[in-house]
Structure 1
Amino acid sequence: IRVLKLKLGTAYMEIRCSLVHISLGDEEHIPYEAISYTWGKYYANPLHDGRVAGQLSQYIVCNGTWTRVSSSLSHALQTFRLPDRARILWADALCINQQDDEEKSYQVGLMQSIYRRAAHVLVWIG
């Protein structure tokens, strides 16, 4: 699976992270914390004449590239970020390739194991 290395920072710094691969089957894998969060509030998307709901979003820097994430996830990352060291996290929207339906299906099947093997589960309700 992929986990997210959230770079250290203070409240108002941009969020920076990178993705790292680990093996769930390896008992010596890098310890990580899973984030459980709401996907955020939806609004009518004006690009689709209000017929399609879109998600309020913000940008973070992931692997050196500006990446759009839900406002809810952005706020969770900002809250859980540490000021003195990086933090290893798993968040579905970033750690699962949302553009690959086959990967999404496979990874969703692993979510119980992903949460069970996490050192901690951090809950963000906004």
Structure 2
Amino acid sequence: MQDGAEQPPDVDPRDEPAPFGAVVLLTVAAAAGVMVLGALAPSALNLKFLLFGPITLVVFEIAVHEVWWKRWWGAIPGAVLGLACYFEGREALADIIGDAWAHPIAYVTAWALFAAAFAWCSRYPRKLS
């Protein structure tokens, strides 16, 4: 057997956490893409569209990396943190830089926070073997 080439047979790949960097960067890229598309075609931007892109990407990451269902609990605190960041951040930024920039910045930041909380929480619970 080569050094680190094979995993022991009792290791379940579903116990692997979500890849932090990939989930955060891809979610931020999707959110930024939604904001760019919204700037190019403002009539196409509605609530369903605002939620569809990044959520679809996170679901894709879960399916591709086979993150076990016990690790999905991170979506709950991620959603709470993201929503709080969006609504509070948008209000605070609107006072400073205006609503035209506050909405996209708060939107992308909220999805980044959601993805970071989800990926971090996917590391728990851990096996104690």
Using the size of structure 1 for normalisation, the TM-score is 0.28
More strand by share: 1
